[in-house]
């Protein structure tokens, strides 16, 4: 018998540990339809969403330092200073910190942080997920006549068909399997090969037409990536009312942005909303 996580198992990143207020806000944001196109599919930039930051980067006048691991940020009297793990440091009149709080926790931060903001940095919840992307080798959904997408109550969690062929927006190019919460923790303890086999065996069991029809192209554990340490902010019950207002306050010359600090929008729109707010904050104080 194949082992499976008990669906009722309590995980602090699941429903038991999530703020209903924030879930409601996400659902409301989704209902506004800001992220859905006319055909009912999630909006995406032409050529993939990576084109958005790449386009922004082209307008930045100074050189962007890639692959630079920030280990500390200090608020000084006349400037703020960012320290990198290779010994370099960068100075600026203002610094906008956009890393998730789950990653900020791993840095040294020397700034006049509000006590509730400090609590937010140290305790804000983050959802965890390990995702597997598969290319379909045959159209298994046409074989069994069922919908291509699945929302399972087993280890595969959500199985979402993605349509990323600009020439044919209806073509299913990949399947995105999102193992979340306790299932993600379980699969993280396996090797990539074991985890992939575990998921494919499960899918073949619940939907025989998938057997041999999916080829892995990407396996990624978001919580094991030290620059993310999770997927997105998943507030614990009570956190929005406790530090929702204080968590985005500037601390001296340091400003905070990133989806976790947005007020109205979620996801990528939240990141952009907060980026604009922080940019105006910083520009206004120069």
Minimum gap (Å) between residue 227 Cβ and ligand FAD: 3
Minimum gap (Å) between residue 98 Cβ and ligand FAD: 5
Rounded to whole angstroms, how far apart are CA atoms 161 and 157? Answer: 13
- Could you give the dihedral angle defined by the CA atoms of residues 100, 101, 106 and 112, in that order, rounded to the nearest 10 degrees? 120
Binding site for ligand FAD (CB under 6 A): 35, 42, 69-70, 98-100, 103, 107, 129, 131, 222, 227-228, 231-232, 258-259, 267-271
Minimum gap (Å) between residue 40 Cβ and ligand FAD: 14
- Sheet strand arrangement including 70-75: 89-92, 80-84, 70-75, 108-110
Give 100 or 155: the residue with its C-beta nearer to ligand FAD: 100
Q: How is residue 233 annotated by DSSP?
A: B
Give 5 or 90: the residue with its C-beta nearer to ligand FAD: 90
- State which residue has the least CB distance to ligand FAD: 267
Q: Which residues pair with 162 in a beta bridge?
A: 174
Minimum gap (Å) between residue 231 Cβ and ligand FAD: 4
Cβ neighbours around 232 below 10 Å, total: 20
Give 132 or 249: the residue with its C-beta nearer to ligand FAD: 132
Minimum gap (Å) between residue 20 Cβ and ligand FAD: 20
Rounded to whole angstroms, how far apart are CA atoms 281 and 16? Answer: 36
Give 150 or 259: the residue with its C-beta nearer to ligand FAD: 259
Q: How far is CA 232 from CA 56, 190, 206, 223, 266, in A?
A: 22, 23, 29, 10, 9
Give 35 or 152: the residue with its C-beta nearer to ligand FAD: 35
């Amino acid at each position: 018998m194949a082992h499976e996580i008990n669906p009722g198992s309590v995980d602090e990143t699941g429903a038991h540990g999530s703020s209903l207020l924030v879930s409601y806000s996400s659902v409301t944001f989704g209902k506004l339809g800001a992220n859905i196109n006319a055909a009912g599919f999630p909006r995406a930039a032409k050529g993939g969403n990576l084109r958005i930051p790449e386009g922004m980067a082209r307008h930045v006048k100074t050189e962007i330092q890639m692959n630079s691991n920030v280990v500390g940020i200090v608020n000084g009297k006349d400037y703020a200073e960012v320290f990198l793990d290779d010994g370099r440091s960068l100075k600026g009149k203002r610094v906008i910190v956009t890393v998730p709080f789950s990653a900020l926790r791993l840095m040294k931060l020397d700034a006049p942080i509000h006590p509730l903001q400090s609590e937010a940095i140290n305790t804000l919840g983050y959802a965890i997920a390990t995702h597997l992307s598969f290319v379909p080798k045959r159209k298994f959904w046409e074989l069994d006549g069922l919908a291509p997408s699945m929302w399972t109550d087993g280890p595969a969690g959500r199985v979402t068909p993605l349509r990323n062929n600009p020439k044919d927006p209806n073509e299913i190019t990949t399947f995105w399997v999102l193992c979340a919460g306790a299932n993600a923790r379980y699969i993280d303890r396996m090797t990539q090969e074991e985890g992939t086999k575990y998921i494919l065996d499960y899918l073949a069991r619940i939907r025989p037409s998938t057997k041999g029809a999916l080829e892995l192209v990407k396996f990624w554990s978001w919580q094991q990536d030290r620059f993310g340490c999770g997927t997105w902010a998943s507030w614990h019950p009570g956190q929005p009312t406790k530090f929702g207002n204080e968590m985005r306050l500037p601390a001296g010359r340091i400003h905070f942005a990133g989806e976790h600090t947005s007020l109205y929008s979620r996801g990528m729109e939240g990141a952009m909303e907060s980026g604009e707010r922080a940019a105006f904050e910083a520009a206004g104080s120069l």
